[in-house]
């Protein structure tokens, strides 16, 4: 696809290749594990198909299978959990967590080829993950989701969690944000005073320090903060955030920003916050702090989603010096969309880039001062 094409030295031609025909290799978070532990099967639209998530009654484990029954195509997510199997609502064929048919009540025997796809799962940080690999390989050594230290020790609040369906956008749109310094001012109303990226192997990190804009009412996000945000693979970010809440006290939080593809042009965004308890803070106070933080984040994500839904895909963005290493990030991201044998050194070798934010902040502070002066002059 090209837009506004022109020959020679005319206007920039926007280029966009067809959307990838495959989904990214890596661990994908489906949500909070507790939300699937209610005795019912749960339907997840992901990777161009539908999955069923259920907890075995005896083994207590969460299992993920392809949702459509290989017998006659019934949707297992609309069935029932029976023992350690999920039963199809169409003919009661029962499928165990390993994908094998566990029984057919009306049949003398189970056909020897009665198997469906069982997805490799991981429970970590009270969340459920599935491993997706178009080649069918297991995760390489060292490719996993890190544990948030102390999460189950009583030091942290419960997760405050939200989801949103984003249509008309490929997953790359959200990942681009990790190098996009300027959008923090225009979309999230903050002055990014320090901004650095490090890509290394399957991990991409953003180091950010910011202060809030004074010409905007930012509610729960109106404090200076520093943030270390890392994607572990193509879709799961752990963002460690320290917020200045006054009196020389910092509130430490962990923000999870993750997604899984529904199809080539839509994805589900999941995000949530847990807060480390301050001395003397009760469980209820910590949970409320996490809720307020997530409520503030929801405003920012809604702004992102509005942009994603209305922008066009662009493979050759026209960049200024302060726009960050967009092309290097996309080279890193490409490793998850090619066969493992085709991953190049340039996709995984360590790369660091720091943006000088001086010029940008000078311009932005002048703009904010003018906005405040204009507001005061109008008496509003």
- DSSP character string of 74-103: -BGGGSEEETTEEE-TTT--EEETTSBEEE
Distance CA 188, CA 300 (A): 6
pLDDT of residue 7: 53
Give Cβ neighbours of residue 362 (< 8 Å, ≥ 6 apart): none
Two tokens at 178? Answer: 């990790």
pLDDT of residue 45: 98
DSSP code at position 323:
G
pLDDT of residue 8: 60
pLDDT of residue 54: 98
Question: Three-state DSSP class for 206?
Answer: strand
Ordered alpha helix ranges (H), the chain: 172-176, 183-186, 283-310, 326-334, 345-348, 358-378
pLDDT of residue 302: 87
Per-residue pLDDT of the chain (380 residues), as tens digits, is 555 544 567 898 999 999 998 999 999 999 999 999 999 999 999 999 999 999 999 999 999 999 999 999 999 999 999 999 999 999 999 999 999 999 999 999 999 999 999 999 999 999 999 999 999 999 999 999 999 999 988 899 999 999 999 999 999 999 999 999 999 999 989 999 999 999 999 999 999 999 999 998 766 566 788 999 999 999 999 999 998 877 778 889 999 999 999 999 999 999 999 999 999 899 999 999 899 888 888 888 888 999 999 999 999 999 999 999 999 999 999 999 999 999 999 999 999 999 999 999 999 999 999 999 998 887 76
pLDDT of residue 3: 53
Under 8 Å between Cβ of 4 and 13: yes
Of the CA atoms within 13 Å of residue 327, those in its CB half-sphere come to 6
pLDDT of residue 377: 82
| Degrees, nearest 5: CA angle 86-89-90 | 125
pLDDT digits (tens, 9 = 90+) for 250-278: 889 999 999 999 999 999 999 999 999 99
Under 8 Å between Cβ of 80 and 74: no
pTM for this predicted structure: 0.93
**Residue 297: left (phi > 0), alpha (psi -120 to 50), or beta?**
alpha
Under 8 Å between Cβ of 136 and 120: no
pLDDT of residue 296: 82
pLDDT of residue 313: 95
């Amino acid at each position: 696809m090209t837009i506004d094409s022109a020959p020679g030295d005319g206007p920039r031609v926007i280029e966009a290749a067809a959307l990838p025909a495959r989904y990214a290799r890596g661990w994908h978070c489906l949500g909070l594990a507790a939300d699937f532990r209610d005795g019912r099967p749960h339907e997840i639209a992901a990777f161009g198909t539908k999955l069923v998530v259920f907890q075995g009654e005896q083994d207590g484990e969460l299992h993920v299978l392809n949702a459509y029954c290989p017998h006659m195509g019934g949707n297992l997510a609309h069935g029932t959990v029976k023992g350690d199997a999920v039963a199809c609502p169409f003919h009661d064929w029962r499928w165990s967590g390993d994908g094998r048919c566990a029984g057919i009540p009306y049949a003398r025997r189970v056909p020897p080829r009665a198997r469906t796809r069982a997805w490799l799962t991981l429970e970590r940080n009270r969340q459920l993950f599935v491993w997706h690999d178009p080649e069918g390989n297991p995760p390489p050594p060292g490719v996993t989701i890190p544990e948030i230290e102390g999460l189950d020790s009583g030091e942290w609040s419960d997760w405050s969690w939200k989801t949103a369906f984003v249509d008309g956008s490929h997953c790359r749109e959200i990942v681009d944000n990790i190098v996009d310094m300027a959008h923090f001012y225009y979309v999230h109303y903050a002055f990014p005073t320090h901004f650095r990226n490090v890509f290394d192997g399957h991990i991409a990190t953003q180091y950010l320090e910011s202060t809030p804009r004074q010409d905007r009412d930012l509610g729960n996000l109106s404090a200076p903060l520093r943030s270390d945000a890392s994607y572990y693979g193509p879709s799961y970010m752990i963002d460690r955030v320290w917020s200045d809440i006054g009196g020389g006290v910092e509130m430490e939080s962990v923000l999870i920003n993750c997604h899984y593809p529904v199809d080539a042009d839509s994805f589900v965004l999941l995000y949530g916050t847990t807060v480390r308890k301050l001395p003397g803070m009760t469980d209820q106070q910590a949970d409320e702090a996490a809720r307020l933080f997530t409520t503030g984040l929801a405003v920012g994500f809604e702004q992102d989603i509005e942009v994603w839904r209305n922008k066009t895909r662009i493979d050759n963005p026209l960049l200024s010096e302060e726009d960050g290493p967009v092309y290097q990030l996309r080279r890193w991201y490409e490793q998850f969309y090619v066969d493992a044998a085709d991953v190049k050194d340039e996709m995984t070798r360590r790369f660091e880039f720091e943006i000088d934010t001086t010029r940008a902040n000078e311009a932005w502070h002048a703009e904010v001062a003018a906005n405040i002066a204009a507001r005061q002059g109008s008496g509003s």
